[in-house]
Structure 1
Amino acid sequence: MAAFEPVRYAALTDVGVKRSHNQDACLPVPAADEAAWRDHGHVFVVADGMGGHAVGEKASFKAVRDIPQIYNKHARDGAAAAIRRAFTEANHGIYSIGQENPEFRGLGTTAVALFLRPEGAWVGHVGDSRAYRFRDGKAEQLTFDHSWVWEIARRQGVDPDELGDFKKNVIIRSLGPDPEVEVDVEGPHPVQPGDVFLLCSDGLTGVVTPDEVGAVATALLPEDAAKLLVHLANLRGGPDNITVMIVRVGGGSEAAGGRPGTGVLARCLKAWNRRVPLPFTALGGGGLLAGLALAMHVSEIPGASILFVLAAAVILAGIAGLIGQLMKDQPEEEPPPPEDEGPRELHVYKTTPCPVSADVGDKFAQLEVALEQAMRAQGVSADWGGHQKLAAAAEAAKAKGDGEAFKARCKALLFLAEAFHKARNKEESFRPSWKDRNGPGPSA
């Protein structure tokens, strides 16, 4: 991701079904322009608070507010150093609140942050909130869960899933409880056009599997994907607060977030500008206009003088741009790179296939049927005619391939889930009869 470009992203946090307060927080801080991109890049943060609702909310909010601010302030010291400093200073601030206010004792929060920079993607991480990268039909977990079950699995050399629910919700590292904290800093991971990154709290990963998350995040626009993933977690009981942040790097199609009719032209212009700087383009264009004006003058074609003036203006603009570029490119004395900015080992802690396949489409179709039956049985109102059209479109899309069929199925399911969410009472829990990560669930 060497060149600056806006990224398409979406962030959504939800209280879930079982909790009365939302202790999660998230904050996107995209770079506003080329200068900001070169200086610190795009920053995205998710935090999951703990220690009672008022305490957890305060800790997570402070984490997502402080981490980007501190990192941006020190980004020129090097990515790894700035990320580590951002987390450690945020930890100190949260810890101080707990020490100064007895009612806030024990406050803490997980935090995971994604930093998209010219050299690649960096991740800062404390706790069991996660960062994923989806690429080529694979879900790559870029963070190690700082939980008891993951630590035991590491010591035994086994997959954490093999240990089942053994102390699954016990985390061993977080921001706030202690004056010092160990921060995992990962990166820089190479970034390719079309990569999708996802940050989330364990309210999502506790009930929605990585293959389902990856299929949804790569098939849909970030806004629709975030909504559907939150609804999926709630339809499976919503036992915790749920936060999802999806970031898509450029290079996708219209369905992946691009604008119709502009992708090819934009890519061509970017490719041209990378090879030929704008001032040289202006000088060349001005020369062509001057030549055309001369030909018109010789042939006594009206308008030659106006074209000469235009050519002169374009040439002058090119010269001004060239002078500005030369002044900008004057070498400046730069401080030596920090010691921790040398070659780094990259970690992908877990890889799960997440293809957009007929199998996951059929699973979502079963969920859609079960949800419709439950809504009708409970007397939940919905635009059934509108849903029927979407369901029919999903069936018809099977002839176009798994990708189009899955997108259409997700739209139909999202339509129903939105209606159910609006009507759902706080303590209601819908559990359809379908296979999830823990086997078949009870019928609705």
Structure 2
Amino acid sequence: MAAFEPVRYAALTDVGVKRSHNQDACAAQPAVDVAGFAAQGHVFVVADGMGGHAVGEKASAKAARDIPFLYAKHARDGGALPALRRAFQEANSGIHEIGQQNPEFRGLGTTSTALVLRPEGAWIGHVGDSRAYRIRGGRAEQLTFDHSWVWEIAKRQGVDPDELGDFKKNVIIRSLGPDREVEVDIEGPYPVEPGDTFLLCSDGLTGVVTPQEVGAVVSALPPDEAVRFLVHLANLRGGPDNITVLIVQVPGGGGGGGRSARPSLPARLWSAWSRRVHWSFTVLGGGVGLALLSLALQLGAVPGAAVLFVLAALLIVVGLVGLAVHMQKEEPPGTGDIAADLAPRELHVYRSHDCDVTPDVLEKFTQLESQLLDGMRAHNTPADYDAHAQLAKLVGSPGAKGEAVLPAFRARCRSILFLAEAFHKSRHKQELFRPSWTPPPYPQ
């Protein structure tokens, strides 16, 4: 994302079913012009508070408010990495100070995950177990490491966190506020491609909705519909926690809520090679290779050796010129906080999930809609069922295959969303708050 482009984004936070107060918060601060994008970039934050409703709400709201402001202030003086780290550290100090000064706020803390889109790529700042995903080419990639006991133990044992079951699943080992100092994970810059979609969320979503489902929905629907659908889906599965979803979509890649085409293997290999090796070295290598081939043809008296030699000479000259320009642009040793920030860094994808929209995924959501519809009718939930029937017709005949699967899935999601919103309105009007209710396990 080298040039300024307005991004498409949407955010939604919801109290859930079991909680009486919403301790989540989120913020969006997109750049409005070229100068703002060059200086700060687009900034998005999600926070999940802890320590009792009044305490958690205060901590998450402060993190969502302060981190974008502090980052923007420090970004004027340096690169994204130090600015993002200082923003989290200063937000932590402010939250910690409130906890120290007020005994009733003891335990004040919050997770926080920030996404910054800048000319050099995407940066992630992260503390806690809220998550950031990148959805690209049919894959949902988790770009953050959960700072929880289960993830830390899984890391030490070299196993997948899911293999440990519910072992200390909800125990957070790092957050903003409890301690005077905090270690902040800064990831990036990740290369950004047209059509990339980033999702930030609290664990109220990931606790009940799988990454495969998240990626499929985000691939099929535009951001404003996707955030509503995912929040409703989490609530339909019990809504055991507050739910926050923030989706950011980079322009390009076909638009319309569909996913961009998966790059071919040669394209992916070339992209990976180009990120690690400057193009001048590639051109020089090609020139040397052609020169050797020309020599072999000359020794074998094979026609065409002269043409290859001229081409090899041209490639070598171009490569040398490119290398000279590249060397001149390099910063002298020791000048380099900003240069180091812009240099290629290791890309951490902590987990990667296939999220292609397949006939099996479509069938799973078809069953979900059938169960929801039956339940609403059994309980006489008010809804415009005729309008829903018209939406359901847009799905088409059962058993869609090939290119028809994605449009059918998109239509199915919209018909489910119609029912879920009607159910949500009725639930708030008719159902009593039951904090001891435990929802049935959701299907995997």
Q: Could you say whether these structures have the same fold, taking a TM-score greater than 0.5 normalized by the shorter chain as the test?
A: yes
Moved over 3 A (4+): 333-337, 396-400, 426-432
Show the counterpart of 1:337: 336
* CA distance in structure 2 between the partners assigned to 1:150 and 1:47 by the alignment: 19
- Return the alpha-carbon distance in structure 1 between the equivalents of residues 27 and 397 of structure 2: 39
SS at match of 1:401: helix
2:203/2:243 contact within 8 Å kept? yes
Could you say what the CA RMSD is over the residues aligned between the two structures, in angstroms?
Answer: 2.2
> Given the alignment of the two structures, is residue 427 of structure 1 paired with residue 428 of structure 2, yes or no?
no
Q: CA 1:254 to 1:195, structure 2 compared with 1: closer, same or farther past 3 Å?
A: closer
Partners of 1:242 and 1:21 lie apart in 2 by: 11
What is the DSSP-based 3-state SS (H/G/I as helix, E as strand, rest coil) of the residue aligned with 2:417?
Answer: helix
Secondary structure of the residue aligned to 1:114 is strand
Match of 2:443 in 1: 436
Amino acid in structure 2 at the alignment position of 1:67: I
Distance in 1, Cα, partners of 2:253 & 2:27:
24
The residue that corresponds to 1:40 in the other structure is 40
**Aligned match of 1:61:** 61
Alpha-carbon contact 2:15-2:21 (below 8 Å) kept? yes
Any conservation in 1 of the 2:208–2:442 contact (CA below 8 Å)? no
Distance 1:212 1:352 in 2: 10
Name the structure 2 match of 1:354: 355
The percentage of counterpart residues that share the same residue type is 68
3-state SS, counterpart of residue 152 of structure 2: helix
How many aligned residue pairs are there?
363
Q: Is the 8 A contact 1:201 1:243 kept in 2?
A: yes
Deviation at 1:344, TM superposition (A): 2.1
| Cα deviations by residue, 1:331-366 (Å, 9 ceiling, x for unpaired) | xx9994317524422210000100011111111110
Between the aligned partners of 1:436 and 1:96, the Cα distance in structure 2 is 43
Pairing of 1:259-298 with structure 2 (within 5 A): none
Change over 3 Å in CA distance of 1:196–1:154 after alignment to 2? same
User: Which amino acid counterpart does residue 410 of structure 1 have in structure 2?
Assistant: C
Query: Which residue of 1 is the match for residue 175 of structure 2?
Result: 174
**2:170 and 2:442 mapped to 1: Cα distance?**
22
1:411 is aligned to: 414
Which residues of 2 match residues 82-121 of structure 1 at below 5 A? 82-121=83-122
Query: Equivalent residue for 1:401?
Result: 404
Q: Secondary structure at the match of 1:43?
A: strand
Q: What amino acid does structure 2 have at the position aligned with 1:111?
A: S
Name which of structure 1's ranges 342-351 and 383-392 shifts more when overlaid on structure 2. 342-351
Provide, for residues 218-277 of structure 1, a one-character-per-residue CA deviation record: whole Å limited to 9, x for no partner. 11010000000001100000000000000000004352299xxxxxxxxxxxxxxxxxxx
- Per the normalisation by structure 1, the TM-score is 0.79
1:223 corresponding residue in structure 2:
224
- For 2:438 and 2:60, locate their aligned partners in 1 and report how far apart those are by CA, in whole Å: 28
Match of 1:157 in 2: 158
What is the CA–CA distance in structure 2 between the aligned matches of 1:221 and 1:377, rounded to whole Å? 32
The TM-score normalised by the length of structure 2 is: 0.79
CA distance in 1, matches of 2:256, 2:382: 30
Partner residue of 1:246?
Answer: 247
For 2:173 and 2:41, the matched residues in 1 are separated by 30
Task: Indicate the SS of the match to 2:394.
Answer: helix
Contact 2:141-2:349 within 8 A present in 1 as well: yes
* Structure-2 separation of matches of 1:112 and 1:89: 15
Who is 2:80 aligned against?
A: 79
Q: Distance in 1 between matches of 2:409 and 2:439?
A: 22
Segments of structure 1 that go 5 or more residues without pairing to the other structure are 259-332, 438-444
Structure 2 distance, partners of 1:431, 1:109, is 26
- 1:337 aligned partner, one-letter code: G
2:355 maps to amino acid: C
Q: Which residue of 1 aligns with 2:26?
A: 26
Q: CA deviation at 1:396?
A: 4.2
Structure-1 residue corresponding to 2:276: none
Deviation at 1:160, TM superposition (A): 0.3
1:139–1:211: 8 Å Cα contact kept in structure 2?
yes
- 2:346 and 2:395 mapped to 1: Cα distance? 44
* Contact preservation (8 Å) 1:236, 1:430: no
Deviation at 1:39, TM superposition (A): 0.5
CA distance, structure 2, for counterparts of residue 168 and residue 248 of structure 1: 30
Distance 2:419 2:223 in 1: 19
Q: Secondary structure at the match of 2:114?
A: strand
